[in-house]
Structures are given as C-alpha cells and as structure tokens.
Amino acid sequence: MLFLIAGALAFSQSQGDTKQRARTAHDLAKDGEQGIPKLAPYVTDQIVDGYVEVRPEAIEALGRQAVSGASIESRANACRALGILRGRTAIPQLAEALHSKDNQTMYEALVALQKIRDVASASRVTFLVNDLDERVQVTAIQTAGMLLDHEAAPDVRDAMGRTRSLRVRHAAAAALAMLADPADRDSFLRDLADTKDDDLRAAGAEGLGRLNNPADRSTLEKAFTGEHKVSPRLSEAFAVVSLGNVDTGEFSSLRYLVNTLNQKLYQGLALPGLVELARDQAVRQALYPLLAIATKDEKIELGTVLARSGEKDSLPYLEALSTDPDTAVAQDGIRDLRSLKARLP
C-alpha cells in the first residue's frame, strides 16, 4: 500500500502516545540548540498537531544547526526536529542540507520536507532523484511524488527504467501514481494487471484512481472484487471511491477502507487513503453516518481524517467525538477539533 508513502504519523504506536511524544519534542525544542541532542528519541515519524504554534526562535536555532552543527548527528537530528515541528521557515536551511554530501543529513532533510508539505519546495529535491545512495534516491523520489513535483516526472520515469533495485522501482511507481500524469495511464493499467508484484498493483490502482477516468471504473471494481492481498486491495478500494463510488454497504470499497481502521497492522495504510478521499464532500457525507455505528478505533481514526481533510460541515461530528463516552475517543476528538478549527479560514 503506497498512500502518500506513510507521510503522516507512526501508527505502530497509539495515537495518544504519538501525540505525547510530539508534545515532548515541542517542549525540548524550546531549549534551542541545547535541546537538540535530547530530541533524537522523539523525532521518528511524529508531527506536532496542526494547532501547535512553535516559537520562531526554536525553528531558527534548529535551522542553523541543520547546516552548521558540529557533528553529522547534530545536523541530522536538527533536520528531523524541523520535520516534526513543521518548521516551514527553515525550508531554505533544509534545502541547503540536501547539498551537504552527508547521506544521513540529506535523508533527514528530505523526510522533513515531506512532513512540512510545502509544494513550493518540490523543485529543490529533483536533483536527488538519481542519487547514487539508494536510501537517499528512494526518499527523494517519494518526496517528489508527495510534493507533487510534476516537473520531476521525466526523471522519475528515467530512474524507474534504469534501476535494478526493486525498492527504487516501487518508489518510482508510487511517485508517478501520486503525480497522476495521463501519459502514464497505460503504465498504470499494466501495473494493475501485475499478478506477481503487490506494490506495483497498488501503485497502478492509485494512479488510475487519481486520473479519475470513468473508463477505468469497471476495471478497478473488478480488481477490487478479485484481490486477495490486503495492501493492493486497499489501493483498489481507494481508486474505486475516487471514481465516485461512495456506497457504504457491507462489502463496498469505502466500507472496506473504514473497517481496516480496526486492524493495527494495516491501520496506517487505510488512513492516508481516507484522508485524501475525504477532501471530497461527497465522501465526507458518506462517512458521517458511519460514525454513529463506528468502533472505538474507527472513531479515533475517522476523527483524524476529518481533522486533516474536513471542512465546516465536519465540525458537528468532531464536536460529538469530543464528548464521546469513551475517554480515549473524547481526548482525541478534542485535539482533532482544535486541529480542524486551526486549519479552517
């Protein structure tokens, strides 16, 4: 499953633990450069809540450390911290870190740019799509896709065509699926038909879903119905919903995505797809009635979906979650409500 390449939270932990770790990292960042060595254990895949305002001087200090830290570890940790704190004003320093020639710092700077999600910074990454270090190359390709760097598409295709690495090929297929260029439609169809490679099938499905060509709807519905592997089936479900099928019946694609939120192993794969789909009001309207019958895990994760992709019509539903009888649901509901209100104009 390749939704946004897990560019969100680390779902191997509980949401409460994830958010507590994020708050701890935020507090340590207030110490400026002195707090940087203590940040490493807290800055893996976490991101502070959208309503959290980080002191500008903390971001400034981390930006300086990212390019002029005394050691590779301090520079890499500073880049990681800028990602978790969404340090948008330090993007120039992160871009400079991409030219550091140190693979660990370059990698952490790329991940930070993924978390900050400033599409205007996409062009700063393109030159690394063909980097000689595989981890840097894969992460650069992922970043180009996540930041919707359409100008990088030829380089991504070139990397995909020349590589012998399955990791690079999968990353390139996923990035092209996010860029969703109509020129890649035939490639997406071939990948969807690949019975031996789950990741390529997933990428093909997502690419077709984002192309939103009605001619592909029956092909995707057939693929979803016949799929036996969870990861590509989630991608095929995403694609079916993308093409307008918002049925929530027991065996529907949208219901499959929601039901998967109950499975810790696949929760982190279903959530990004729902976040992307919920930007469409028709999908949100289909999800709202499910909250009344949702499990605890579904409520918590759908709250996250609405916090990230909801609009004013989502406020009553998050308000209801914030007063849920289950304490864990209510606590997350309160944070999600604050995040949505902070994001709305």
d(CA 136, CA 149): 17
The pLDDT of residue 20 is above 70 = no
The pLDDT of residue 44 is above 90 = no
- Model pLDDT, residue 184: 98
d(CA 235, CA 137): 24
Instruction: Give the tens place of pLDDT for each residue, 118-132.
Output: 999 999 999 999 999
Is 260 in contact with 269 (CB distance < 8 Å)?
A: yes
- CA distance readout (Å), 21 to 8, 44, 48, 120, 336: 14, 10, 9, 29, 17
Give me the chain's average pLDDT, please: 90
What residue spans define the domains of the chain?
246-345
Q: Which amino acid is at 292?
A: A
The pLDDT of residue 230 is above 90 = yes
Q: How confident is the model at residue 97 (pLDDT cuts 50, 70, 90)?
A: very high
> Which residues, at least 6 apart from 108, have a Cβ–Cβ distance to it below 8 Å?
76, 77, 79, 80, 83, 97
Exposure b/e, 156-191, CB count within 10 A at least 16 = b: bbebbeebeeeebbbbbbbbbbbbbbeebbebbeeb
The pLDDT of residue 27 is above 90 = no
Higher pLDDT, 170 or 10: 170
Nearest partner of 139 among 167, 101, 102, 178, judged by Cα: 167
> Tokens at residue 68, please?
């002029």
Of all residues in the chain, the percent with pLDDT exceeding 90 is 84
Mean pLDDT of 254-259: 98
Mean pLDDT of 87-97: 97
Exposure b/e, 239-254, CB count within 10 A at least 16 = b: bbbbbebbeeeeebbb
In this prediction the pTM is 0.85
Is 239 in contact with 220 (CB distance < 8 Å)?
A: yes
